[in-house]
Structure 1
């Protein structure tokens, strides 16, 4: 790949003895050795004369620290054996002196200078560099030993990816000091650099800049319409620099044509954030540190070809400005796509400032919001606002079957959501007018102000078309006052509070009482979902300092910030209990002392569930094959929707599916011809080190990559050194990921990248392996995936997040904000279906209370229990749990067009007389498929209670039969009054129909 092309160069190096003034080149070893045993770098030495001792002085210019502590091995190229006698002389980062016994005499020897051993699990390895051992023969070599001549031929990296050339070959201390002395009036030095050589080191100057010399100009060549980029390396030499900025002039040609200054920007100081807000960053640079500033120039397509000149000026507080002459030659070639098909030229950096798909346009199947008086209607739901700005009532219109709407609404609340602010007694609020500040199809906003003598409450609310409500609530002290408590009451109706998850509870039946306290250091918990299958509400408590935490193994490294209002230094908490006719969620913060003018933010978000009706036909007709495989092999299984993971030939690098895009497109084109759809693994949470933009992104500090303790795979340690979190690693292709920091401009890039994949590669959707972005990004993704009629299918996989590393959150609760845009769930590892109760299945795994359906994973799932929720496992993921026999049974019955009526539906026309053996049916005209599964500890003899009229079946003509289904059930038939034996943990799939 062009990104890692390493040209051969000649560099004249200074040193002593045999190594002085040698020609040294840096080359690609083309994977000639195993780095996990020998390290990633070696020096090729040629012994050119006879002698008993070879002395090599190696000007290696290493970027790694404390090389004198690291082991060194010399290997005889002829025998491939380590030489027995070796003595280490003076070692430092600039050069090293090594004596060794030339065991084969004249010839080639390899010196490996960073060997390591790998510790930890294979997908989260940690390279531990071997410490140097004392010589086993201190008397060697003898003073009279004959010294052989050694030529340092070259330095090899194991492959191009691991090369340090040219930007990680350090300048010597003397070279650096000489350069500084040559510019005694400069407080800082500025090094213009080409885009093909990303600046990688922060603690050293590269030798390349010494050889080039310090020149206050940059010259480059670009095409019309190109997203051009170059760098300025800033190096303070006298003091720390504060507020480094870049200013541009227009560039002009001799003919009078102009490139306006407005087309230039600095990625490090300015841009558009993930939320469309302008981003202005302050860049400070410590003395003797290198900071890369990336300049972006989006050249107009109508640019007149020619040579343009202007000035880019670097400024900082309290020091003279540094002008750099900028010469840019624009060719006659026009790039219609900005050059993004050559990303190694950093042409996609402009994606970081994209606002693509940010307009909150309504996404199918949702409907435009409708406002009438103070009632807002949306798909299947209504919100009635109270005079204080909070919901007076929330209704849903989904039937219990979740496949259609009812004309009668189901109330979620028994009384309005409201605050209690206590100072001795409840403060009485005077309500101001409620004003709608925005009314668009996708978003409706309103505001009001409630006041007392001592306190003002400013309320801003917003609802979006999918049922998300966001409240900003400011309590502003009008004078000094001490409050006894601030409480938010959400009074659920009992019929909309059957189930609960969150606040330390696994999903299931709601307990009578819940008492919860904030513990953000250990628990990713800030709210809960309470509801029934066809009506519910998730709420989360925030303040104005909310920052999205890390998730999926990394929560403890960047946890939630305790809200200063709700958390209140540990005083706050949540109690859920029955009070009168309500199931009351009592969210309290405890006593607050406020000075006049103080503001506390009691923000909260609501999600009204379900989001949309269940599309059962999508479940029956779209059968996933979760593996890269031969297309004919896949088609033969009956699967028709392929998920392509990373670490595969057409999608090798995690969350960076751009490098093998031609192979991916060819595969997808062939799949489409065979009637198959293809989705790819691509998410945000961690990013492959093979990303072309790795080092430009690193130049942005912690904006894109999370701070951390470093370590991990050897490449990360050798090229990033510090201040990162090592993530997933694939040994087979040596793909090492770095953890993203949370909400950032990388999400803009992600949306643009997804759009490019849809339009240029033809992907049919994405497979998300957990999610580390917010719902705004998810909406943008859904828009670009479904653009121009593309299917835009999204399925979400999660391992059970209810554990220490993930902060004891529920996957469904954690990701609920994304559910409106998903097509299927796959929950997942550590969801132990054989040990889970029906209510856990329903709330945490099935997706049904939210308008979704799912699949199983852990240990192949439980096929019988899964059928209660329309779930199978996924091809070809689990041995011994092949879903094809069940798919065949579905087809034989004709599941398309059937109506799913779950055991949770009160008027289900088929009921079990045993509560431990629930029944779900799939009803068609004159026939019904009955799924029953047991949670009983012994074989249960179950009698079915059938409402024949509701089924539309004449009992006199009815038959009950079980078709033989491999690994599921034998063939059987039953009389309509017969008890049906059901083994523990198993069940039946019966068909009832007229003869």
Structure 2
């Protein structure tokens, strides 16, 4: 999208007036835009006088320019001139009178000055309002000197309006329409190098070229070629605009099939691999860009191929455009994707890469034995009605191994209660479960239950990672009044110790909970309930579910209240003890259903943990989260570099393709020195430097979220309105726009990751919150780990439990992604001082899900972090350098140890104070004991050691605390000695048999 430097462009007006030359250039960032704005006219005064007059034909796309201020600056003194008067200001031109303070010479007219308000990373440009000026000046304009327009300049090429944002005048547009009185709409052809940018105006360029029913271009063999059709309704709104294509033929009769052509705006492949067909409607006097994709065959002969593209709309005559594409002799093996400025990567939007549900390590293929489905560390048994009969996990309490002993999550099968007004349940007759698909990565089944008044249809699936999806339809056979439809999830008490979600921060499950839907304010539709080695997250949805926005933007696109579960506010969830179970009663309340009505009571499940913990990965992969000299990084002991955006090799947020050569050089050097490199890249917002910005805008709200606009000046000047301004980096003027949610941009994202692995050599991704679903995450993990690549993914999140994020828990929000992560970094606004151990365990550590994490906010708490195997991240937090702890790990030899957490009932080491907890890292004849205090004041504790379980002879044991900088002094203890523990701190103690 970045235009090449514009030196001089000349346009000739053809509207009957005398030809006028307009020159366009750039100022090479030679002035301060935050006061003067991004655009100016360079004018010269050749004569002497007290008043100069400049008439500037600026052809502005912004509305109401008469309301904006105009500043005139003397180029010689670089001083603003105070005596200025504007007259006849409109979008096409304006007249400015000013005092030429230095006499003859050059003057600058800044016609869109603004001032910046708001945070530096969320700025909002406020355009200065037009001033009345000095009413006493000038006394007369009769003898004003005529100033000559030399050129119009943008501050840089990125900000230039030329050529596609220089508007046609009203007279030019009217004259063009008048020339084609029979047409309901006009169709303009445009090359891919000039993306159509304006919706409300025609560009002057199209007036200059005139309306033609032809397009010609040059493509290479095998190229992902593109071109544009600009649709402009002039008589009425257009509905259901389509483009159809003929084959293209050359003189020798060789053809390019019509199937090689498609319209990006109307047809494609959705993010989930399903066919996408969009209806394009265009309002009168609006411009709609249609991007045409052409797959040029690799084995085609050179020459010119001709055919047609036909535009049609309901109730209007079709328009046929003659197409001529000259195929040169160059063969592109990669489709030309290494030249994205030619829009060759738009094809990625329709990619199905990694859509196939193939099993990804460490997971194993599903094994189906009648109605029992086995997956890594878990078993899922299907009841006759298709709902879960039992869910079991086989992870040890330490979470480092899979055992043969199951742990039941349920006390009885999951079931619906459909209650009539007499409080009696409808009795269903149920058919046997029928499997509709059995693959290594996914199993699908159906079941039907019938009654005289209501039928229930269940369609479900389970995937290799433990994700279960249920589509449950209740269909009214007759008119019926219902007292309630509720789903009962009966948890085993041993598998429901903790809870997270439904307004509850992570921690111990409350004895009772009564929750109601509040989608306008809360991103809450379910919860995780479980223990460290067994749990279940569930989410309640219907057939209209759309993933909401997150990370500060939830309130701008919240959850949709499920028609079924929400039931106009009557629904909710009650959790509490009932009989032998901890029952989650998901109720929807009374309602009427008419014959034929269908309600979708859909829900999803995630069976946790996802896999055993890989503690050795935690000890050996030490993250350095900053761009720096590689030798400097290696000297710290770090082994893996995270490259953030806004850095020299990854400058633009979520678009790491522009400085890819520099990135490749850096990664090659890192690899040569034994380090891995991961990059920041996610989907949530997208840099305005993306080459595809305006093609994506042409897709309406598919990729970009609707919004109120505003933000950084570039966004206001080039996007106009209807967007949400996101993160901005002042140093490089990188401005992002919020993505809309699930869209074809995720297909592009997967293809982009594949390209980066194969062409740049990245070792993985650093994700700063996630705005895509588990399907996209799975696809990304697949391409990142191809051909033996490490594919390491770590996820950072600020605490989402706040108003802007809809009061959701980060771990609960992103749990569907956890199966594919290697590490968590739950950072800003996580309180490591005031929160309890159960909060650490559930919300921050990742341990109940098979992960481990790191700390961020204020450097974390080093002593408490060690209980969960966490440190802070190098070099992110001042005064919290993890290198001393890394050294202590190496001195002890953490590789190969077995972590036994304080949460394990038979942990061989405990303390005599429940507020001081111990986790051990055990190996042969030695153990590292991590102690952390949550006591309200300094205290002393004694260790209760089960020497036999520890595998150490107490008679030969030594108990020492090694000196660790900023953590603890060196000290030796006896087995019976009281150990002093400072409030909020702790120890790392080595027990070793000599």
Category of TM-score, reference length = shorter chain: over 0.9
For 1:534-933, what aligned pairs fall within 5 Å after superposition? 534-933=533-932
- Encode CA deviations 1:478-532: one digit per residue, 9 max, x unaligned: 0000010001000000000000000000000011001100000000000000000
- Which of 256, 263, 266 aligns to 1:266? It is 263
| 1:371 match | 368
CA distance in 1, matches of 2:513, 2:6: 62
CA distance in 1, matches of 2:118, 2:770: 25
CA distance in 2, matches of 1:235, 1:656: 31
CA contact (8 A) 1:686 1:738 kept: yes
Matching of residue 35 in structure 1 with residue 33 in structure 2? yes
- Which of 104, 107, 115 aligns to 1:106? It is 104
Matching of residue 123 in structure 1 with residue 159 in structure 2? no
CA distance in 2, matches of 1:281, 1:149: 54
| 1:430 match | 429
CA distance in 1, matches of 2:300, 2:733: 43
Q: Secondary structure at the match of 1:649?
A: coil
For 1:442-461, what aligned pairs fall within 5 Å after superposition? 442-461=441-460
CA contact (8 A) 1:227 1:348 kept: yes
CA distance in 2, matches of 1:541, 1:7: 58
- Which of 294, 303, 306 aligns to 1:297? It is 294
Matching of residue 65 in structure 1 with residue 55 in structure 2? no
Q: Secondary structure at the match of 1:282?
A: coil
Matching of residue 944 in structure 1 with residue 943 in structure 2? yes
Structure 1 residue 22, shift from structure 2 partner: 4.3
CA contact (8 A) 1:482 1:591 kept: yes
Structure 1 residue 910, shift from structure 2 partner: 0.3
CA contact (8 A) 2:15 2:175 kept: no
CA distance in 2, matches of 1:330, 1:348: 19
CA contact (8 A) 2:942 2:976 kept: yes
The number of equivalent residue pairs is: 992
CA contact (8 A) 1:22 1:151 kept: no
Structure 1 residue 429, shift from structure 2 partner: 1.2
CA distance in 2, matches of 1:512, 1:840: 17
| 1:468 match | 467
Structure 1 residue 303, shift from structure 2 partner: 1.1
- Encode CA deviations 1:671-726: one digit per residue, 9 max, x unaligned: 00000000000000000000000000000000000000000000000000010000
For 1:229-378, what aligned pairs fall within 5 Å after superposition? 229-378=226-375
Structure 1 residue 13, shift from structure 2 partner: 5.5
CA contact (8 A) 2:7 2:26 kept: no
Structure 1 residue 71, shift from structure 2 partner: 0.4
**CA RMSD of superposed structures (Å):** 1.1
- Encode CA deviations 1:73-114: one digit per residue, 9 max, x unaligned: 000000000112111111000000000000001100000000
Q: Specify every segment of 5 or more residues in structure 1 that has no aligned partner in the other structure, as ranges.
A: none
CA distance in 2, matches of 1:449, 1:691: 49
Q: Secondary structure at the match of 2:34?
A: helix
CA distance in 2, matches of 1:48, 1:193: 40
CA distance in 2, matches of 1:497, 1:78: 76
Structure 1 residue 139, shift from structure 2 partner: 2.8
| 1:175 match | 172
Structure 1 residue 3, shift from structure 2 partner: 3.6
Q: Secondary structure at the match of 1:156?
A: strand
Q: Secondary structure at the match of 2:582?
A: strand
CA distance in 2, matches of 1:144, 1:920: 86
Q: Secondary structure at the match of 1:722?
A: coil
CA contact (8 A) 1:243 1:283 kept: yes
CA contact (8 A) 2:15 2:171 kept: no
Residues 400 and 563 (structure 1), Cα distance of their counterparts in 2 relative to 1, 3 Å cut: same
- Encode CA deviations 1:338-361: one digit per residue, 9 max, x unaligned: 000000000000000000000000
Q: Secondary structure at the match of 1:577?
A: strand
Q: Secondary structure at the match of 1:287?
A: coil
Matching of residue 25 in structure 1 with residue 23 in structure 2? yes
| 2:500 match | 501
Residues 325 and 145 (structure 1), Cα distance of their counterparts in 2 relative to 1, 3 Å cut: closer
Q: Specify every segment of 5 or more residues in structure 2 that has no aligned partner in the other structure, as ranges.
A: none
**TM-score (normalised: structure 1):** 0.99
- Which of 50, 54, 72 aligns to 1:56? It is 54
Residues 189 and 15 (structure 1), Cα distance of their counterparts in 2 relative to 1, 3 Å cut: closer
- Encode CA deviations 1:445-480: one digit per residue, 9 max, x unaligned: 000101111110000110000000000000000000
CA distance in 1, matches of 2:8, 2:263: 32
CA distance in 2, matches of 1:189, 1:697: 22
- Encode CA deviations 1:249-277: one digit per residue, 9 max, x unaligned: 01110111111110000000000000111
Structure 1 residue 4, shift from structure 2 partner: 3.8
| 2:519 match | 520
CA distance in 2, matches of 1:956, 1:2: 73
Q: Secondary structure at the match of 2:66?
A: helix
CA distance in 1, matches of 2:50, 2:582: 88
Structure 1 residue 886, shift from structure 2 partner: 0.2
CA contact (8 A) 1:202 1:290 kept: yes
Structure 1 residue 322, shift from structure 2 partner: 0.4
Structure 1 residue 582, shift from structure 2 partner: 0.4
- Encode CA deviations 1:340-389: one digit per residue, 9 max, x unaligned: 00000000000000000000000000010001011000000001111111
**TM-score (normalised: structure 2):** 0.99
Matching of residue 201 in structure 1 with residue 198 in structure 2? yes
- Encode CA deviations 1:304-357: one digit per residue, 9 max, x unaligned: 110011011100001111000001100011000000000000000000000000
CA distance in 2, matches of 1:949, 1:776: 47
Structure 1 residue 14, shift from structure 2 partner: 9.4
Structure 1 residue 149, shift from structure 2 partner: 2.6
Q: Secondary structure at the match of 1:93?
A: coil
CA distance in 1, matches of 2:139, 2:106: 23
CA distance in 1, matches of 2:4, 2:471: 49
| 1:222 match | 219
After the TM superposition, list the runs of 4 or more consecutive aligned residues in structure 1 that deviate by more than 3 angstroms: 1-5, 12-16, 19-22
